[in-house]
Structure 1
Amino acid sequence: MFWLLIVILIAQRTAEMAVARQNEQKVKQQGAIEFGESHYPYIIITHILFFLSLIAEVLLMNKQPSSWWIGIAAAIVTVQAVRYWALCSLGSYWNTKILVVPGAELVKKGPYRWMKHPNYTVVILEFLLIPLLYHAYMTMCLFSILNAVLLTVRIRTEEKALEEYSIK
Structure 2
Amino acid sequence: MTSAELILGIVTLQRVAELVISNDNTRKLMARGAIEVAARHYPLIVAVHAAWLIALWAFGHGRPVNVVAFLFYLVLQGFRFWVMRTLGPRWTTRIIVLPEQALVSAGPYRFLSHPNYAVVSFEIAVLPLALGLPLLAAIFSILNAAVLAIRIRAEDRALAASGQAARGVQ
Q: Same fold (TM over 0.5)?
A: yes
Q: Structure 2 vs 1, CA of residues 118 and 25 (structure 1 numbering), >3 Å: closer, same or farther?
A: same
2:84 to 71, 80, 87: 87
Gaps of 5+ in 1: none
2:55 and 2:164 map into 1 onto residues whose CA distance is 41
Match for residue 111 of structure 1?
108
2:91 and 2:63 map into 1 onto residues whose CA distance is 35
Cα RMSD after superposing both structures? 1.3
2:125 to 99, 119, 128: 128
1:146 to 134, 137, 143: 143
Query: Would you say 1:4 and 2:6 are equivalent positions?
Result: yes
2:29 to 17, 27, 30: 27
2:53 to 34, 51, 54: 51
The alpha-carbon deviation at position 166 of structure 1 amounts to: 4.3
Does the CA contact (< 8 Å) of 2:8 and 2:56 recur in 1? no
Q: Deviations over 1:50-98 (max 9, x none)?
A: 0111222225xx64323xx2x2222111100111110110111110000
Gaps of 5+ in 2: 166-170
Query: Would you say 1:156 and 2:156 are equivalent positions?
Result: no
Give the TM-score normalised by structure 1.
0.92
Does the CA contact (< 8 Å) of 2:4 and 2:64 recur in 1? no
Q: SS where residue 39 of structure 2 aligns?
A: coil
1:74 and 1:53 map into 2 onto residues whose CA distance is 21
Q: SS where residue 83 of structure 2 aligns?
A: helix
Does the CA contact (< 8 Å) of 2:65 and 2:131 recur in 1? yes
Q: SS where residue 38 of structure 1 aligns?
A: helix
Aligned positions, number? 163
Match for residue 98 of structure 1?
95
Match for residue 16 of structure 1?
18
Q: Structure 2 vs 1, CA of residues 138 and 84 (structure 1 numbering), >3 Å: closer, same or farther?
A: same
Does the CA contact (< 8 Å) of 1:131 and 1:140 recur in 2? yes
Q: SS where residue 36 of structure 2 aligns?
A: strand
Q: SS where residue 116 of structure 2 aligns?
A: helix
Q: Deviations over 1:9-42 (max 9, x none)?
A: 0110111111111111111112111112111001
Give the TM-score normalised by structure 2.
0.91
